[in-house]
Amino acid sequence: MKVIGVIPSRLASTRLPRKPLVSIAGKSMVERVYDGGRGSTRLSRLIVATDAPEIYEHCRARGMDVEMTSSDHVSGTDRIREIAARFPADVYVNVQGDEPMVTAAHVDALLSLFRSPEVAISTLALPLDAAAAGDPNTVKVVTRLDGRALYFSRAAIPFDRDRSGPEYRKHLGFYAYRRDALERFAALPASPLEIAERLEQLRFLENGIDIHVAESPSDTWSVDTAEDLTRVERHFFER
């Protein structure tokens, strides 16, 4: 099975300007993500996909595999689809560009589910403390007993009506897709729940396309704000 990893990367971040190029313990964020993901021996290639010449030159100067893509893409998934149109593979891994704590183990966990031919899309989750479940910036997922996602939400799901202490699960925004799943995503319009929650993975679920959820080997903290950046940088300094 040929697998290509893709790191979507763009400069147009509103909450943290020039996010891919900010320094995290001496390396840019995009370089941290690249270093973490490329350790997986399952990847044939790991490509930074960007629409910014500055990111392109930054990556080239540091020996990273990088490709220019259209500036018209609405989502990282659309950017990955452009890479898929150029470079054939069986599976594509979305290594999110704002996840500097990614490791090879995260990539391998995503790909472990593809031993089953029925799996078209995989993602990661892990247990979440109940006190953190109410944070709308932390996406939660509930699954079927067989591990397929039922729903993703920014709300605390499931609702603990009788205070029985259900297990909340944090969704980590890494994905692996078979090529035909990427094509189906691009052909579908944005769906109502996707628009309401601002979670593009709901487009798959609303159209009856299963997402299989694997157990994440460790937690990660995505970087969206200056506060997130400080927290993640502390993690790298303390390792």
CATH classification at residue 71: 3.90.550.10
In a shared domain, residues 160 and 183: yes
Domain presence at residue 232: no
Nearest CA among 5, 207, 212, 9 for reference residue 124: 212
Domain presence at residue 86: yes
In a shared domain, residues 80 and 125: no
What pTM does this model have?
Answer: 0.94
Domain presence at residue 95: yes
Contacts of 56 (CB under 8 A, 6+ apart): 50, 66, 68
Domain presence at residue 28: yes
Distance CA 53, CA 233 (A): 26
Phi, psi (5° rounding) for residue 161? -60, -45
H helices of the chain, in order, are 29-37, 53-61, 76-86, 104-112, 179-187, 192-197, 202-206, 226-238
Domain presence at residue 236: no
**What are the structure tokens assigned to 137, written together?**
């910036």
In a shared domain, residues 98 and 122: no
Domain presence at residue 130: yes
Domain presence at residue 44: yes
**Per-residue pLDDT, 231:** 94
Residue-number span of the structural domain to which 137 is assigned: 116-171+179-218
Domain presence at residue 231: no
In a shared domain, residues 121 and 96: no
How many structural domains compose the chain? 2
Q: pLDDT (tens digit, 0 to 9) for every residue of the chain, 239 residues total?
A: 999 999 999 997 778 889 999 999 999 999 999 999 999 999 999 999 999 999 999 999 999 999 999 999 888 899 999 999 999 999 999 999 999 999 999 999 999 999 999 999 999 999 999 999 999 999 999 999 999 999 999 999 999 988 888 899 999 999 999 999 999 998 999 999 999 999 999 999 999 999 999 999 999 999 999 999 999 999 999 88
Contacts of 144 (CB under 8 A, 6+ apart): 150
Distance CA 177, CA 79 (A): 13
Phi, psi (5° rounding) for residue 76? -65, -35
**What are the structure tokens assigned to 119, written together?**
């799996």
Distance CA 89, CA 36 (A): 21
Distance CA 197, CA 16 (A): 21
